[in-house]
Amino acid sequence: MAFCDFAGPGDESVLALCDGNRAQIVDAWRSKDTMHSVGKFLAHFRRLGLAGYDIGGDEGYGHQLMDRMAEEGFHLQRFNNGQAAKRTEIYTNLSAEWWSTVGQLIERRAVIIPNDEKLVAQLTSRRKLYDSRGHEKLESKADLRGAIILGQKSQIDWKAALAFQREIKHRMHSDYLRTGRGRPHIEWR
């Protein structure tokens, strides 16, 4: 599974791969030209032999970029970090749920991430907060921008990448159990 972290002009875009419980960065770059980033993502997808259903990305900022990729035949699996959590009694949104879930996997050493000082700083710097109902939420990106981590804002969202992989595998397994067929195309609902 691959995960795209789409960034605005000048921020860092990232392509990460998840293989089993191991994650790695394929490439990370900064560009003021978003179409350059689209082209770079597409070149990586082709080189790695990825299909659209193998790739996911947040459709917040990435919506228009994914629309352009779809025109080139790569229909990525879209999700929205701000959408409702599955466990709404605990989390304010999907992003908070994923960060918490994958954070627990990292603590239990159930997933393998690169030994990278910048990455560790990014993963451990985003604070868990609570809303007035007692639901977990994450420190906003605007607040994070004020707290520079090793000279750059937190942009590599490994927890979402790993959680995305788990979600896809869960859906694929559920579809397989329901239909008896192998790796089906996954539709997000």
Radius of gyration of the chain from its Cα atoms, rounded to whole angstroms = 16
Could you give the count of Cα atoms lying within 13 Å of 71 in the half-sphere of its Cβ? 9
Which domains, ranges and CATH numbers included, belong to the chain?
A: 2-179 (3.30.420.240)
User: pLDDT tens, position by position, for the chain (189 residues)?
Assistant: 888 988 877 778 889 888 888 888 899 889 999 899 999 999 999 999 999 988 988 888 788 999 999 999 999 988 888 888 888 999 998 888 888 888 888 888 888 887 777 777 777 777 888 999 999 998 876 666 555 443 443 445 555 666 656 665 665 556 556 666 544 433 333
Whole-angstrom distance, CA of residue 139 vs CA of residue 23:
24
pLDDT of res. 128: 85
